[in-house]
Each structure stands twice: as structure tokens, then as C-alpha cells.
């Protein structure tokens, strides 16, 4: 690193993320700069793969874009929760399915220019059907089953635009 942090402070604490402002000084020039970072606890994304090869997606309303999006099930890590436990919880909450065969495929940095969020991508196989346990605001969530080819077509035509979903599907494709 070619800088040092002079001052760091949390200027906003929210339910989903906080904002930290760092004042830095570059080593070579001595120039000062300010960096604003969205502090996020991270989350888990699940690729629920059915025995017939189809993938379970959720359709849910996303407030910031005022749209219903097609996404892989995912959610924010609770305090001190492991990414695997988050994946297990979100799979059950959003789809009703559970699995004892969940493997981590990798991780992504969602917006590394200003946010420290890390999403852990998991593949869930040998799914067992059950009942969902959706949170407030997720009541109207719908389930959608698509093959990988159908999902790729929806990416091509702009029906799937969610970055974590596109990244997760790429990770799945790379292991097939």
C-alpha cells in the first residue's frame, strides 16, 4: 500500500450497512485524500440444483430499482453467522428446500470500488422439499425453475440482470 490512514470514522450506521470515512495520506507525494466505504457484513448465495438439472430461482421485488428481479436465493450474514449457515438458512427461508449436500464454489466482491461486501457462492444438491420461512417483505416472492440454458437466455435478453446471480451461474458452468 502506498498510503497510510490518518483518520477513520463511522459516519452512518444502518440496518444493512454502515459508512466509514477514511482520511489517507499518500506515502510518495504526501497528498491527502478521502475514501468512503460502505461496510457490509457479507452474505451467501445458493444455487439450488434439482435432480432434473433445473435451478431454483426466486422472483422478488427490489426496492432500489422498483422492479421484480429473477435471482438466486441469497441473503445477508447475521452477526457471527458462517457463510455456510447463512446459505442453509436462506435456501430454507426463500425456497422451502433444504440440503445436506452444499459446497462452496467461491466468492465475489460485489462493488469493490466503494463497498467491502463479500458474497459466498454455494451449490446445493440433493434437495429436499419443504416449506419456506420468508421474512417480512418476501411474502410475494415467487419460485421459478430454469435450466442453465434457459437462465443464460434470460441473461442475454436482459431478464436476469442481478450480478450475484450471473456470477453464481458462471461458477456453476465452470464446474460442469
Q: How far apart are CA 162 and CA 167, in angstroms?
A: 9
SS (H, E, C) 71-98: ECCEEECCCCCCHHHHHHHHHHHHHCCE
Helix, strand and coil in the chain, % to nearest 5: 20, 45, 35
Q: Is 138 a catalytic residue?
A: yes
Q: How far apart are CA 4 and CA 104, in angstroms?
A: 35
Choice among 81, 93, 138, 152 that is catalytic: 138
Q: How far apart are CA 74 and CA 46, in angstroms?
A: 6
Q: How far apart are CA 114 and CA 36, in angstroms?
A: 7
Q: Are strands 55-62 and 142-146 parallel, antiparallel or unpaired?
A: antiparallel
CA atoms within 13 A on the CB side of 102: 24
Give yes or no for a contact between 172 and 47, defined as CB atoms under 8 angstroms apart.
yes
Residues marked active site are found at 138
Amino acid at each position: 500500500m502506498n498510503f497510510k490512514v490518518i483518520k477513520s470514522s463511522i459516519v452512518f450506521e444502518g440496518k444493512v450497512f454502515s459508512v466509514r470515512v477514511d482520511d489517507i495520506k499518500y506515502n510518495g507525494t504526501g497528498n491527502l485524500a478521502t475514501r468512503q466505504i460502505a461496510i457490509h457484513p457479507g452474505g451467501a448465495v445458493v444455487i439450488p440444483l434439482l435432480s432434473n438439472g433445473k435451478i431454483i430461482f426466486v422472483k422478488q421485488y427490489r426496492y432500489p430499482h422498483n422492479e421484480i428481479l429473477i435471482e438466486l436465493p441469497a441473503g445477508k450474514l447475521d452477526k457471527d453467522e458462517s457463510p455456510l449457515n447463512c446459505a442453509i438458512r436462506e435456501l430454507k427461508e426463500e425456497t422451502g428446500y433444504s440440503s445436506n449436500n452444499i459446497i462452496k464454489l467461491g466468492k465475489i466482491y460485489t462493488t469493490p470500488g466503494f463497498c467491502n461486501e463479500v458474497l459466498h457462492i454455494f451449490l446445493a444438491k440433493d434437495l429436499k422439499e419443504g416449506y419456506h420461512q420468508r421474512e417480512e417483505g418476501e411474502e410475494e416472492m415467487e419460485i421459478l425453475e430454469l435450466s442453465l440454458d434457459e437462465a443464460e437466455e434470460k441473461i442475454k435478453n436482459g431478464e436476469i440482470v442481478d450480478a450475484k446471480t450471473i456470477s453464481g451461474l458462471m461458477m456453476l458452468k465452470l464446474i460442469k
